[in-house]
Structure 1
Amino acid sequence: MEKIGFGGGCHWCTEGVFQAIRGVQQVDQGFIRSDAPADTWAEAVVIHFDAAQIDLATLLEIHLRTHSAAKPFVPGGKYRTAAYTFNDAQASMLEGAISSLALAFDKPLSTTVLPFREFKPSDARYQNYYATDPQRPFCKRYIDPKLAYIRKNFAKVTRSV
């Protein structure tokens, strides 16, 4: 089992998106810190995945396409578009993949590759936010469109509904 962290907008949305992907075994929702200037807590998830079922490049592309990956970094902000790596090989691979994928976006990507340093889970009441009540207005407005997008554009790796 491999791990990767992703931050980008609300962690409720990010959690819901990756829980819908085949090969993702677990999604830990909470806050991640890295090294300065990204050492403040930011909303993010840690994804535990089986690389034989889903590759890291596909997970990255799903991440980039389901949040505002061109949003500029704001030091101290709780939203950071980032990939948090657990080893140097992941960092190298992701930096190259972001450069390649950037050509397919209208705006320059601001997603950064950062070393994972620390994680703290969000409150239990927010865990599995979409899975526990997909009828919430927030889920209908923000998460459902992301799920519809991945079901359409990443159908081969999306779990059955």
Structure 2
Amino acid sequence: MSELKSVTVAGGCFWCTEAVFLDVKGVQKVESGYIGGHVPQPSYQQVCGGDTGHAEAVRLTYDPAVISLRDLLGIFFATHDPTQLNRQGHDTGTQYRSAVFYASEEERQAAQAMIETLTRDAVFDRPIVTTLEPAGIFYPAEAYHQNYYAQNRMQPYCAAVITPKVSKFRKQFADRLRSA
């Protein structure tokens, strides 16, 4: 195993994003949390209120010998709608924005290149609004948010929103699944 790296992305509800990346071969850890705001140690309730400036995000720790940052970003952009400003489906507010929180110039350039490629190839019908933001402090979400989907599959939101997203991911990226 090579030296592990991490990247933080926000694609709407962190439960959805976490559920997808927990299945990805080469991803060693997925942690839901909050980033990009101005309130220290925010709670879920504070972030949901939309006044802290934070986004619901996931920090992905991965092995670059198994999966590249480019491939992770490809999965990220394919598994949420990066053309919706400050929302994903019924979840609205800046806390649900699409963003890549880069910790290095390499990460910023990789995300910018991915956006340019997706735009050039007209993958989406509307412009991509994903922001590229410097990674600030990442605050892990409360324990009950970690591995949420696996523990709450029958909860109505999970069944209606996350299950179809995970199913689509598994079909589209079968070669990237841990079990593949």
TM-score where L is the length of structure 1: 0.89
1:73-152 correspondence runs (5 A)? 73=86, 77-102=94-119, 103-152=122-171
Selected match of 2:85 from 72, 77, 87: 72
Q: Which residue of 2 aligns with 1:31?
A: 34
Q: Which residue of 1 aligns with 2:25?
A: 22
Task: Report if aligned partners of 1:34, 1:115 keep a CA contact under 8 Å in 2.
Answer: no
For 1:132-154, what per-residue CA distance to the aligned partner results, in whole angstroms no more than 9, with x for missing partners? 23222221111111111111111
Say if 2:74 is the partner of 1:61. yes
Separation of aligned partners in 2, 1:56 and 1:18: 13
For 1:86-129, what per-residue CA distance to the aligned partner results, in whole angstroms no more than 9, with x for missing partners? 11111112101111022211111111221101111111112110
Q: Which residue of 2 aligns with 1:9?
A: 12
Selected match of 1:45 from 55, 58, 63: 58
User: Any stretches of 5+ residues in structure 1 without a counterpart?
Assistant: none
Q: Which residue of 2 aligns with 1:153?
A: 172
Separation of aligned partners in 2, 1:65 and 1:93: 16
Separation of aligned partners in 1, 2:142 and 2:107: 29
Separation of aligned partners in 2, 1:101 and 1:155: 21
* Structure 1 residue 73, shift from structure 2 partner: 4.5
Separation of aligned partners in 1, 2:157 and 2:177: 22
Task: Report if aligned partners of 2:37, 2:55 keep a CA contact under 8 Å in 1.
Answer: no
Q: Match of 1:7, SS?
A: strand
Q: Match of 1:43, SS?
A: strand
Task: Report if aligned partners of 2:16, 2:162 keep a CA contact under 8 Å in 1.
Answer: yes
Q: Match of 1:151, SS?
A: helix
Larger radius of gyration: 2
TM-score where L is the length of structure 2: 0.80
For 1:2-32, what per-residue CA distance to the aligned partner results, in whole angstroms no more than 9, with x for missing partners? 1111102101111111101111000110111
Separation of aligned partners in 2, 1:22 and 1:34: 30
Task: Report if aligned partners of 1:25, 1:48 keep a CA contact under 8 Å in 2.
Answer: yes
Count residues in correspondence.
Answer: 157
